[in-house]
Amino acid sequence: MSVDFDLYFEELPKTRKGGKGNKMPNNKSTTTTEAPKASRKYAKTRGEHLKDMVIVALVASIIAFIGGMHFQNSHDMQVVNASKTTQAVVAPAKK
């Protein structure tokens, strides 16, 4: 009991898009490049401006404090040196 069937090839419409087994074509001519979107410029708020000004004032005051310490040190050394020279000159005069 053998039944013979005629085999034939049926062309199926290609409706399947994507899927696990399908890879995207690596053809650069088919890819489209989109124009870059115009970025919106970030505007600072009033509080951020105030915070920036406070930070600048603190940094400037720290720098001024360190500079003042160096100036005071050099001024103190000049006074000490001047007092040593005057003591050396005045000391032999006493007898």
Give residue-wise pLDDT tens across range 37-69: 777 788 888 889 999 999 999 999 999 999 999
Which residue segment(s) compose the domain that 56 sits in? 46-88
Rounded Cα distance, 6 and 52, in Å: 85
pLDDT score, position 64: 97
Looking at residue 48, its amino acid is E
Q: How many structural domains compose the chain?
A: 1
| Residue 20 pLDDT grade (very low, low, confident, very high; cuts 50, 70, 90) | low
Helices (H), 1-95: 46-90
Paired tokens of 31: 């890819």
Query: Is residue 62 in some structural domain?
Result: yes
Rounded Cα distance, 14 and 17, in Å: 8
| Residue 73 pLDDT grade (very low, low, confident, very high; cuts 50, 70, 90) | very high
Query: Is residue 59 in some structural domain?
Result: yes
Rounded Cα distance, 23 and 39, in Å: 33
Rounded Cα distance, 84 and 76, in Å: 12
Distance, first Cα to last Cα, the chain = 150
Query: Is residue 73 in some structural domain?
Result: yes
Query: Is residue 65 in some structural domain?
Result: yes
Instruction: Tally the residues of the chain.
Output: 95
Rounded Cα distance, 74 and 70, in Å: 6
Give residue-wise pLDDT tens across range 22-31: 566 665 555 5
